[in-house]
Amino acid sequence: MTWKTIIGQTRVQKMLQRCILDNRIPHALLLTGQEGAGTVALALAFARTVNCESPVSTASTIAPCETCHACVQGASLQHPNIRVVASLPSGKADTEDELKDDVIAELRDAIQALAIDAYNPVRLANATQIRIGQIRELKRSLSLSAVQGGRRVVIILNAEEMTIEAANAFLKTLEEPHDDVTLILTTSRPERLLQTIVSRCQELIVPPLDDDDIIKALLDRSLCTVDEATIIAPFAQGNLQKAIDYLSEDIRALRETAVNLLRAALKGKDFRNGLMDAVEEAADGRNKARADAILSLLALWLRDAHVIAMAGEGAPIINIDHRAALERFAAAFGQADFPAVLAAVEQASRHLARNVSVQLVLSTAMLEIRRVFAATRITDRTTS
Protein backbone atom coordinates (compact mmCIF):
# COMPACT_ATOMS: atom_id res chain seq x y z
CA MET A 1 0.00 0.00 0.00
CA THR A 2 1.65 3.17 -1.23
CA TRP A 3 0.42 6.62 -2.16
CA LYS A 4 -0.96 5.50 -5.50
CA THR A 5 -3.37 3.05 -3.85
CA ILE A 6 -4.76 5.81 -1.64
CA ILE A 7 -8.22 6.95 -2.59
CA GLY A 8 -8.54 10.73 -2.99
CA GLN A 9 -7.05 12.81 -0.13
CA THR A 10 -4.69 14.67 -2.45
CA ARG A 11 -4.22 17.54 -0.01
CA VAL A 12 -3.21 15.32 2.93
CA GLN A 13 -0.95 13.22 0.69
CA LYS A 14 0.82 16.36 -0.50
CA MET A 15 1.31 17.65 3.04
CA LEU A 16 2.78 14.36 4.26
CA GLN A 17 5.11 14.09 1.27
CA ARG A 18 6.15 17.73 1.72
CA CYS A 19 7.30 17.00 5.31
CA ILE A 20 9.43 14.11 4.07
CA LEU A 21 10.88 16.10 1.14
CA ASP A 22 11.74 19.04 3.40
CA ASN A 23 13.12 16.72 6.06
CA ARG A 24 10.75 18.24 8.61
CA ILE A 25 9.25 14.97 9.75
CA PRO A 26 7.17 15.49 12.90
CA HIS A 27 7.66 13.36 16.01
CA ALA A 28 3.92 13.01 16.43
CA LEU A 29 1.09 13.18 13.93
CA LEU A 30 -2.61 13.00 14.56
CA LEU A 31 -4.70 11.90 11.59
CA THR A 32 -8.29 12.82 12.33
CA GLY A 33 -10.99 11.18 10.24
CA GLN A 34 -12.64 7.84 9.53
CA GLU A 35 -10.45 4.80 8.85
CA GLY A 36 -12.67 4.26 5.84
CA ALA A 37 -11.66 7.72 4.60
CA GLY A 38 -8.03 6.60 4.62
CA THR A 39 -6.38 7.59 7.91
CA VAL A 40 -4.59 4.26 8.26
CA ALA A 41 -3.78 3.98 4.56
CA LEU A 42 -2.11 7.41 4.73
CA ALA A 43 -0.16 6.47 7.85
CA LEU A 44 1.11 3.27 6.24
CA ALA A 45 2.12 5.01 3.00
CA PHE A 46 4.02 7.56 5.07
CA ALA A 47 5.75 4.81 7.10
CA ARG A 48 6.80 2.97 3.95
CA THR A 49 8.09 6.08 2.25
CA VAL A 50 10.33 7.14 5.15
CA ASN A 51 11.74 3.61 5.33
CA CYS A 52 12.40 3.04 1.62
CA GLU A 53 16.11 2.76 0.80
CA SER A 54 15.82 4.63 -2.52
CA PRO A 55 12.60 6.60 -2.68
CA VAL A 56 11.49 8.08 -5.98
CA SER A 57 11.07 11.84 -5.71
CA THR A 58 10.21 14.90 -7.76
CA ALA A 59 10.12 18.53 -6.61
CA SER A 60 6.78 17.97 -4.90
CA THR A 61 6.31 14.20 -4.54
CA ILE A 62 8.13 11.32 -2.89
CA ALA A 63 7.14 7.66 -3.03
CA PRO A 64 8.67 4.34 -2.02
CA CYS A 65 10.51 2.46 -4.79
CA GLU A 66 8.58 -0.75 -4.06
CA THR A 67 11.53 -2.95 -4.92
CA CYS A 68 14.14 -2.50 -2.16
CA HIS A 69 14.34 -4.83 0.84
CA ALA A 70 12.63 -2.30 3.12
CA CYS A 71 9.75 -1.84 0.67
CA VAL A 72 9.22 -5.60 0.38
CA GLN A 73 9.19 -5.87 4.18
CA GLY A 74 6.95 -2.84 4.45
CA ALA A 75 4.43 -4.14 1.92
CA SER A 76 3.74 -7.22 4.06
CA LEU A 77 3.89 -5.17 7.29
CA GLN A 78 6.93 -7.17 8.37
CA HIS A 79 9.30 -4.22 8.58
CA PRO A 80 10.74 -3.94 12.10
CA ASN A 81 10.41 -0.15 11.93
CA ILE A 82 6.69 -0.18 11.18
CA ARG A 83 4.45 -1.04 14.03
CA VAL A 84 0.68 -1.00 14.38
CA VAL A 85 -0.94 -0.80 17.82
CA ALA A 86 -4.64 -1.70 18.10
CA SER A 87 -7.17 -2.23 20.87
CA LEU A 88 -7.20 -5.63 22.56
CA PRO A 89 -10.23 -7.63 23.73
CA SER A 90 -11.29 -7.28 27.31
CA GLY A 91 -9.61 -9.83 29.57
CA LYS A 92 -6.54 -10.20 31.69
CA ALA A 93 -3.95 -9.86 28.96
CA ASP A 94 -2.35 -6.45 29.11
CA THR A 95 0.16 -6.80 26.30
CA GLU A 96 0.23 -8.64 23.00
CA ASP A 97 2.62 -11.21 24.52
CA GLU A 98 0.01 -12.34 27.04
CA LEU A 99 -2.81 -12.92 24.59
CA LYS A 100 -4.53 -16.24 24.06
CA ASP A 101 -3.63 -18.12 20.89
CA ASP A 102 -6.95 -17.47 19.18
CA VAL A 103 -6.64 -13.73 19.77
CA ILE A 104 -3.04 -13.77 18.51
CA ALA A 105 -4.26 -15.52 15.35
CA GLU A 106 -7.05 -12.96 14.96
CA LEU A 107 -4.58 -10.08 15.36
CA ARG A 108 -2.19 -11.65 12.85
CA ASP A 109 -5.00 -12.14 10.32
CA ALA A 110 -6.14 -8.54 10.79
CA ILE A 111 -2.60 -7.20 10.21
CA GLN A 112 -2.25 -9.41 7.13
CA ALA A 113 -5.55 -8.11 5.79
CA LEU A 114 -4.30 -4.58 6.43
CA ALA A 115 -1.12 -5.32 4.47
CA ILE A 116 -3.21 -6.49 1.52
CA ASP A 117 -5.59 -3.52 1.63
CA ALA A 118 -4.95 -0.61 4.01
CA TYR A 119 -8.69 0.09 4.03
CA ASN A 120 -9.39 -3.20 5.79
CA PRO A 121 -10.31 -2.43 9.41
CA VAL A 122 -8.26 -3.88 12.28
CA ARG A 123 -11.08 -4.81 14.64
CA LEU A 124 -10.70 -7.72 17.02
CA ALA A 125 -13.88 -9.09 18.58
CA ASN A 126 -14.81 -7.16 21.72
CA ALA A 127 -11.61 -5.11 21.54
CA THR A 128 -12.30 -1.68 22.98
CA GLN A 129 -9.18 -0.67 24.87
CA ILE A 130 -5.56 0.16 24.25
CA ARG A 131 -4.06 -0.71 27.63
CA ILE A 132 -1.22 0.61 29.69
CA GLY A 133 0.74 -2.63 29.21
CA GLN A 134 0.76 -2.02 25.46
CA ILE A 135 2.07 1.52 25.92
CA ARG A 136 4.72 0.39 28.42
CA GLU A 137 5.87 -2.28 25.99
CA LEU A 138 5.97 0.32 23.23
CA LYS A 139 8.08 2.64 25.40
CA ARG A 140 10.47 -0.21 26.17
CA SER A 141 10.96 -1.10 22.53
CA LEU A 142 11.47 2.55 21.55
CA SER A 143 14.16 2.92 24.21
CA LEU A 144 16.22 0.25 22.42
CA SER A 145 18.11 1.30 19.33
CA ALA A 146 16.60 0.43 15.95
CA VAL A 147 17.66 -2.87 14.38
CA GLN A 148 17.34 -1.45 10.88
CA GLY A 149 18.04 1.97 9.34
CA GLY A 150 15.25 4.31 8.39
CA ARG A 151 12.69 5.78 10.71
CA ARG A 152 10.60 3.93 13.25
CA VAL A 153 6.90 4.65 12.79
CA VAL A 154 4.33 3.58 15.35
CA ILE A 155 0.71 3.78 14.20
CA ILE A 156 -1.82 3.81 17.03
CA LEU A 157 -5.23 2.90 15.61
CA ASN A 158 -8.29 4.51 17.19
CA ALA A 159 -6.07 6.30 19.70
CA GLU A 160 -9.14 7.48 21.64
CA GLU A 161 -9.45 3.88 22.86
CA MET A 162 -6.41 4.29 25.11
CA THR A 163 -7.44 3.89 28.74
CA ILE A 164 -6.76 6.91 30.91
CA GLU A 165 -3.66 5.16 32.37
CA ALA A 166 -2.46 4.28 28.89
CA ALA A 167 -3.08 7.85 27.69
CA ASN A 168 -1.08 9.29 30.58
CA ALA A 169 1.80 6.89 29.94
CA PHE A 170 1.63 7.74 26.24
CA LEU A 171 1.79 11.44 27.05
CA LYS A 172 5.18 10.85 28.72
CA THR A 173 6.39 9.13 25.54
CA LEU A 174 5.26 12.16 23.54
CA GLU A 175 7.13 14.45 25.89
CA GLU A 176 10.41 12.60 25.34
CA PRO A 177 10.64 12.38 21.54
CA HIS A 178 13.23 10.14 19.89
CA ASP A 179 15.11 11.48 16.89
CA ASP A 180 14.29 8.55 14.63
CA VAL A 181 10.70 7.91 15.73
CA THR A 182 7.35 9.20 14.47
CA LEU A 183 4.22 8.36 16.41
CA ILE A 184 1.06 8.50 14.31
CA LEU A 185 -2.29 8.48 16.03
CA THR A 186 -5.47 7.89 14.07
CA THR A 187 -8.86 8.77 15.43
CA SER A 188 -12.39 9.54 14.33
CA ARG A 189 -13.16 11.08 17.73
CA PRO A 190 -10.42 13.57 18.60
CA GLU A 191 -12.62 15.07 21.34
CA ARG A 192 -12.12 11.88 23.32
CA LEU A 193 -8.33 12.22 23.38
CA LEU A 194 -6.52 14.02 26.18
CA GLN A 195 -6.11 17.63 25.13
CA THR A 196 -2.49 17.43 26.24
CA ILE A 197 -1.92 14.62 23.72
CA VAL A 198 -3.64 16.50 20.87
CA SER A 199 -1.62 19.64 21.55
CA ARG A 200 1.65 17.72 21.21
CA CYS A 201 0.75 16.29 17.81
CA GLN A 202 0.66 17.88 14.41
CA GLU A 203 -2.96 17.33 13.43
CA LEU A 204 -4.08 16.62 9.88
CA ILE A 205 -7.77 16.40 9.06
CA VAL A 206 -8.63 13.53 6.72
CA PRO A 207 -12.02 14.50 5.26
CA PRO A 208 -14.72 12.04 4.12
CA LEU A 209 -14.28 10.71 0.58
CA ASP A 210 -16.40 11.95 -2.31
CA ASP A 211 -19.16 9.65 -3.55
CA ASP A 212 -17.25 9.28 -6.82
CA ASP A 213 -14.14 8.11 -4.93
CA ILE A 214 -16.22 5.52 -3.08
CA ILE A 215 -17.76 4.28 -6.32
CA LYS A 216 -14.33 3.99 -7.95
CA ALA A 217 -12.86 2.20 -4.92
CA LEU A 218 -15.71 -0.34 -4.86
CA LEU A 219 -15.31 -0.99 -8.58
CA ASP A 220 -11.48 -1.19 -8.37
CA ARG A 221 -11.96 -3.90 -5.76
CA SER A 222 -14.50 -5.68 -7.99
CA LEU A 223 -16.96 -5.68 -5.12
CA CYS A 224 -20.12 -4.79 -7.02
CA THR A 225 -21.65 -3.44 -10.19
CA VAL A 226 -21.71 0.24 -11.15
CA ASP A 227 -25.43 0.38 -10.29
CA GLU A 228 -24.93 -1.06 -6.81
CA ALA A 229 -21.97 1.22 -6.14
CA THR A 230 -24.00 4.25 -7.18
CA ILE A 231 -26.83 3.36 -4.80
CA ILE A 232 -24.55 2.64 -1.87
CA ALA A 233 -22.05 5.51 -2.16
CA PRO A 234 -24.26 8.30 -0.72
CA PHE A 235 -25.16 6.13 2.27
CA ALA A 236 -21.51 5.49 3.07
CA GLN A 237 -20.95 9.16 3.99
CA GLY A 238 -17.42 9.22 2.67
CA ASN A 239 -16.38 6.06 4.51
CA LEU A 240 -15.26 3.15 2.31
CA GLN A 241 -15.56 0.64 5.15
CA LYS A 242 -19.19 1.57 5.62
CA ALA A 243 -19.81 1.16 1.90
CA ILE A 244 -18.27 -2.32 2.02
CA ASP A 245 -20.34 -3.24 5.09
CA TYR A 246 -23.50 -2.18 3.28
CA LEU A 247 -22.56 -4.34 0.28
CA SER A 248 -22.73 -7.50 2.32
CA GLU A 249 -26.33 -6.69 3.21
CA ASP A 250 -29.31 -5.66 1.17
CA ILE A 251 -29.23 -1.95 1.96
CA ARG A 252 -32.90 -1.37 1.12
CA ALA A 253 -34.01 -4.19 3.40
CA LEU A 254 -31.79 -2.85 6.17
CA ARG A 255 -33.24 0.62 5.77
CA GLU A 256 -36.74 -0.88 5.94
CA THR A 257 -35.77 -2.50 9.24
CA ALA A 258 -34.46 0.85 10.50
CA VAL A 259 -37.65 2.69 9.54
CA ASN A 260 -39.75 -0.09 11.10
CA LEU A 261 -37.87 0.39 14.36
CA LEU A 262 -38.70 4.08 14.29
CA ARG A 263 -42.35 3.48 13.40
CA ALA A 264 -42.69 0.91 16.20
CA ALA A 265 -41.11 3.28 18.72
CA LEU A 266 -43.49 6.09 17.80
CA LYS A 267 -46.74 4.07 17.93
CA GLY A 268 -49.42 4.99 20.50
CA LYS A 269 -49.76 3.70 24.03
CA ASP A 270 -49.58 -0.03 23.24
CA PHE A 271 -46.26 0.21 21.46
CA ARG A 272 -44.18 -2.14 23.60
CA ASN A 273 -44.84 -5.51 21.93
CA GLY A 274 -44.45 -4.04 18.48
CA LEU A 275 -41.19 -2.36 19.47
CA MET A 276 -39.86 -5.58 20.98
CA ASP A 277 -40.60 -7.41 17.71
CA ALA A 278 -38.90 -4.67 15.67
CA VAL A 279 -35.86 -4.73 17.98
CA GLU A 280 -35.71 -8.52 17.72
CA GLU A 281 -35.68 -8.28 13.93
CA ALA A 282 -33.02 -5.55 13.93
CA ALA A 283 -30.83 -7.43 16.42
CA ASP A 284 -30.98 -10.57 14.25
CA GLY A 285 -28.84 -13.15 16.04
CA ARG A 286 -26.84 -10.46 17.88
CA ASN A 287 -25.16 -9.41 14.64
CA LYS A 288 -23.37 -6.21 15.71
CA ALA A 289 -22.16 -5.16 12.27
CA ARG A 290 -25.70 -5.47 10.90
CA ALA A 291 -27.19 -3.60 13.87
CA ASP A 292 -24.61 -0.86 13.41
CA ALA A 293 -25.50 -0.52 9.73
CA ILE A 294 -29.18 -0.26 10.71
CA LEU A 295 -28.35 2.51 13.18
CA SER A 296 -26.37 4.39 10.52
CA LEU A 297 -29.30 4.13 8.13
CA LEU A 298 -31.70 5.24 10.84
CA ALA A 299 -29.48 8.28 11.47
CA LEU A 300 -29.44 9.13 7.75
CA TRP A 301 -33.21 8.80 7.54
CA LEU A 302 -33.68 11.06 10.57
CA ARG A 303 -31.14 13.53 9.20
CA ASP A 304 -33.12 13.69 5.95
CA ALA A 305 -36.33 14.34 7.90
CA HIS A 306 -34.54 17.10 9.79
CA VAL A 307 -33.24 18.65 6.54
CA ILE A 308 -36.76 18.68 5.09
CA ALA A 309 -38.16 20.17 8.31
CA MET A 310 -35.56 22.94 8.15
CA ALA A 311 -35.33 23.61 4.40
CA GLY A 312 -38.79 22.53 3.25
CA GLU A 313 -39.90 20.27 0.43
CA GLY A 314 -37.32 19.78 -2.29
CA ALA A 315 -34.44 19.94 0.21
CA PRO A 316 -31.38 17.86 -0.80
CA ILE A 317 -31.65 14.45 0.88
CA ILE A 318 -30.02 11.04 0.62
CA ASN A 319 -33.08 8.78 0.78
CA ILE A 320 -34.54 10.30 -2.38
CA ASP A 321 -36.80 7.29 -3.01
CA HIS A 322 -38.41 7.85 0.44
CA ARG A 323 -39.10 11.53 -0.07
CA ALA A 324 -42.89 11.33 0.34
CA ALA A 325 -42.63 9.36 3.61
CA LEU A 326 -39.93 11.72 4.87
CA GLU A 327 -42.05 14.76 4.09
CA ARG A 328 -44.98 13.29 6.02
CA PHE A 329 -42.65 12.52 8.92
CA ALA A 330 -41.17 16.02 8.84
CA ALA A 331 -44.67 17.52 8.83
CA ALA A 332 -45.58 15.52 11.95
CA PHE A 333 -42.31 15.70 13.88
CA GLY A 334 -40.47 18.64 12.35
CA GLN A 335 -40.31 20.49 15.67
CA ALA A 336 -38.56 17.63 17.48
CA ASP A 337 -35.11 17.98 19.00
CA PHE A 338 -33.34 16.18 16.15
CA PRO A 339 -29.84 16.70 17.57
CA ALA A 340 -30.96 14.85 20.72
CA VAL A 341 -32.45 12.03 18.64
CA LEU A 342 -29.28 11.71 16.56
CA ALA A 343 -27.19 11.76 19.73
CA ALA A 344 -29.20 8.77 20.99
CA VAL A 345 -28.46 6.87 17.77
CA GLU A 346 -24.79 7.81 17.97
CA GLN A 347 -24.54 6.65 21.56
CA ALA A 348 -26.18 3.34 20.66
CA SER A 349 -23.59 2.85 17.94
CA ARG A 350 -20.79 3.45 20.48
CA HIS A 351 -22.32 1.01 22.95
CA LEU A 352 -22.53 -1.66 20.26
CA ALA A 353 -18.76 -1.56 19.92
CA ARG A 354 -18.51 -2.53 23.58
CA ASN A 355 -19.62 -5.84 24.90
CA VAL A 356 -23.25 -4.84 25.38
CA SER A 357 -26.28 -6.86 24.26
CA VAL A 358 -27.49 -5.75 20.84
CA GLN A 359 -31.14 -5.98 21.95
CA LEU A 360 -30.48 -3.85 25.01
CA VAL A 361 -28.64 -1.19 23.02
CA LEU A 362 -31.36 -0.96 20.38
CA SER A 363 -34.30 -0.92 22.78
CA THR A 364 -32.63 1.69 25.01
CA ALA A 365 -31.99 3.92 21.99
CA MET A 366 -35.53 3.56 20.65
CA LEU A 367 -37.09 4.34 24.03
CA GLU A 368 -34.94 7.45 24.26
CA ILE A 369 -35.98 8.47 20.75
CA ARG A 370 -39.63 7.91 21.69
CA ARG A 371 -39.13 10.10 24.76
CA VAL A 372 -37.65 12.96 22.73
CA PHE A 373 -40.36 12.80 20.07
CA ALA A 374 -43.12 12.52 22.69
CA ALA A 375 -41.80 15.67 24.40
CA THR A 376 -42.22 17.53 21.09
CA ARG A 377 -45.80 16.45 20.69
CA ILE A 378 -46.68 17.65 24.18
CA THR A 379 -44.93 20.96 23.52
CA ASP A 380 -46.85 21.32 20.23
CA ARG A 381 -50.13 20.82 22.00
CA THR A 382 -49.37 23.29 24.78
CA THR A 383 -48.15 25.97 22.40
CA SER A 384 -50.98 25.65 19.88
Binding site for Zn ion (CB under 5 A): 52, 64-65, 68, 71
SS3 content of the chain, % helix, strand, coil (to 5): 60, 10, 30
User: Least distance in Å: CB of 148 to Zn ion?
Assistant: 13
User: Least distance in Å: CB of 70 to Zn ion?
Assistant: 5
Report the residue number, 70 or 266, with the smaller CB distance to Zn ion. Answer: 70
Give the up-direction half-sphere exposure of residue 288: CA atoms within 13 A in the CB hemisphere. Answer: 15
User: Least distance in Å: CB of 51 to Zn ion?
Assistant: 8
User: Least distance in Å: CB of 144 to Zn ion?
Assistant: 24
User: Least distance in Å: CB of 210 to Zn ion?
Assistant: 30
Report the residue number, 33 or 64, with the smaller CB distance to Zn ion. Answer: 64
Report the residue number, 65 or 115, with the smaller CB distance to Zn ion. Answer: 65
Report the residue number, 73 or 128, with the smaller CB distance to Zn ion. Answer: 73
Calculate ∠ Cα 85-86-88, nearest 5°: 125
Rounded CA-CA distance 42/155 in Å is 11
- Whether the CB-CB separation of 243 and 268 falls below 8 Å is answered with no
User: Least distance in Å: CB of 54 to Zn ion?
Assistant: 6
Report the residue number, 74 or 208, with the smaller CB distance to Zn ion. Answer: 74
- Whether the CB-CB separation of 331 and 256 falls below 8 Å is answered with no
Rounded CA-CA distance 359/310 in Å is 32
User: Least distance in Å: CB of 139 to Zn ion?
Assistant: 29
From residue 138, give the alpha-carbon distance in Å to each of 45, 115, 333: 21, 21, 52
What three-state secondary structure class fits 381?
helix
Report the residue number, 2 or 34, with the smaller CB distance to Zn ion. Answer: 2
Q: What is the DSSP string of 271-317?
A: -HHHHHHHHHHHHGGG-HHHHHHHHHHHHHHHHHHHHHHHH-TT---
**DSSP H or E segment with residue 204:** strand 202-205
- Paired residues of 129 in beta bridges: 88
User: Least distance in Å: CB of 356 to Zn ion?
Assistant: 45
User: Least distance in Å: CB of 68 to Zn ion?
Assistant: 3
Report the residue number, 52 or 132, with the smaller CB distance to Zn ion. Answer: 52
Report the residue number, 54 or 355, with the smaller CB distance to Zn ion. Answer: 54
Report the residue number, 44 or 206, with the smaller CB distance to Zn ion. Answer: 44
What one-character DSSP code corresponds to residue 36?
Answer: G
From residue 196, give the alpha-carbon distance in Å to each of 200, 230, 317: 7, 42, 39
Q: What is the DSSP string of 324-361?
A: HHHHHHHHHHTTS-HHHHHHHHHHHHHHHHTT--HHHH
- Whether the CB-CB separation of 256 and 360 falls below 8 Å is answered with no
